[in-house]
Amino acid sequence: MHFQSRPNAAVAARAAGVPVLDVVIPVYNEQADLAASVRRLHRHLQEDFPFQARITIADNASDDDSPRVCAELAAELSAVRVVRLEQKGRGRALHTVWSTSDAQVLAYMDVDLSTDLNALAPLVAPLISGHSDLAIGTRLGRGARVVRGAKREIISRCYNLLLKSTLAAGFSDAQCGFKAIRADVARRLLPHVTDTGWFFDTELLVLAERSGLRIHEVPVDWVDDPDSRVDILATAAADLRGIGRLLGGFANGSIPVHTIAAQLGAVGEPPRSLFRQVVRFGSVGVVSTAAYVVLFLLLQGWCGAQLANLIALLVTAIGNTAANRRFTFGIGGLRRMTRHQVEGLIVFAIALAISSSSLAVLHGVVPEPHDLIELAVLVSANLVATLVRFVLLRGWVFHPHRTR
């Protein structure tokens, strides 16, 4: 269920002189690029965007020349305003401006305008029509065209895989700085979003999805800004803390999803129990290990240790995937079973490569390590490999959006 838009709301807003769309650009010390980006966006909205729109520059306590540039832009360009905040934080800026805007649809984009502006109309159209409640640009969806370095690509994909495996996120790209939300949805959802930094986007989307709201995705053309000021390590640490906070809130009931859904007029989906899945995954692992030992001992005298190891590993890997499919993730029937087995073997191979390569690295560094050191390395590597297997099974192979 989702909110129903009032008939001809865009027409009524235009007649009243109220912008249909308010595009927020959060800014912190961006004096070099700010003017060119705002003028480019303003030109696009004036010439190519079919609805009345406004640009709001949210100055996050800049201490360079950005305030002066903001003031000059607001004086020079129509439908451009500035909101000054004395505290930093992109989430704080969006929360503040969105909570007080009179526009029908609220959006934001990064000041570097990495996303092709031609995606703006497809982003907000489903919100104006009332079909969807939120909309996001995605760099990871089919049809997206992205130019960026390998490091950022890997970090982005790993982060979104982590969201899928821990929070059961169904959206594909939480971090793309190109999002929109209907104002009536924002007024009811924003009071429940507490993050004031970079995790704001993720928290907003997770709460919206858990509450049963519709999230529309638009594949975008996106070019990385090599001069990005984002501190990757600090942002990653904050994101991990945010994920932990949401997991704890969902588990102990301090984030009442069904209450939020009722306030929004939507029907929330109960999250998959991460704890229950971890316990069942561990139980399947124990049984699989025992089965491997028995098979290896039975086959060793017949075909030798190497072949016995290969056969035992292959058989138990297939059995492990089948057991996790049914017991851990609750998927029955024959539908997509072959695909699940193939992907399960890929996951198993990745985990095996992690544990196997650890010894090779150790012996490359220390030619004759002590037995206890070898054991410690193997135990640590297998713990990492097990975690990787669980994340990939939960967030990829058996993710609910791929098994429906």
At 258-289, the pLDDT tens digits run: 777 777 776 565 555 677 788 888 888 888 88
Residue 2 confidence (pLDDT)? 41
Contacts (Cβ under 8 Å, ≥6 apart) of 52: 13, 14, 18, 19, 20, 21, 79
Any catalytic annotation for residue 225? no
- Tell me which residue of 150, 211, 146 sits closest to 173, measured CA to CA: 146
pLDDT of amino acid 267: 57
Instruction: For 293-302, write each residue's pLDDT tens digit.
Output: 788 778 877 8
Asked if pLDDT for residue 99 goes beyond 60, the answer is yes
pLDDT tens track for 8-46:
555 555 545 789 999 999 999 999 999 999 999 999 999
The more confidently predicted of residues 71 and 164 is 71
Q: Report CA Rg, the chain.
A: 25
Confidence tier at 356 by pLDDT (50, 70, 90): confident
Q: Specify the pairing of strand 178-182 against strand 105-109.
A: antiparallel
Q: Which residues pair with 107 in a beta bridge?
A: 23, 180
Whole-number pLDDT of residue 269 = 55
- How far is 97 from 194, CA to CA, in rounded Å? 15
Long-range pairs of 243-246 with CB within 8 A, sequence gap ≥ 24: 243/162, 243/163, 243/166, 243/167, 243/202, 246/167, 246/203, 246/206
CA distance linking residue 316 with residue 286, whole number of Å: 11
Domain ranges in the chain are 9-264, 274-403
Name the average pLDDT for the chain.
Answer: 85
CATH code, 9-264? 3.90.550.10
Average pLDDT, integer, range 75-81: 96
pLDDT > 80? residue 383: no
Convert 4-45 into a string of H (helix), E (strand) and C (coil): CCCCCHHHHHHHCCCCCEEEEEEECCCCCCHHHHHHHHHHHH
Q: Give pLDDT, residue 270.
A: 53
- So what's the pLDDT on residue 3? 39
Among candidate residues 201, 224, 225, 371, the one labeled active-site is 201
Residue 402's pLDDT band, with cuts at 50, 70 and 90, is low
**pLDDT at site 16:** 54
CA distance 82 to 136: 24
Q: Between 289 and 378, whose confidence is greater?
A: 289
Residue 105 bridge partners (DSSP): 21, 182
Encode 352-368: b = buried (16+ Cβ within 10 Å), e = exposed. Answer: eebbeebeeebeeeeee
> What's the mean pLDDT in 312-326?
87
Rounded to whole angstroms, how far apart are CA atoms 175 and 30? 20
- 312 or 185: whose pLDDT is higher? 185
> What pLDDT is stored for residue 7 in this prediction?
40
What would the mean pLDDT of 97-124 be, rounded to a whole number?
A: 96
More confident residue, 251 or 336: 336
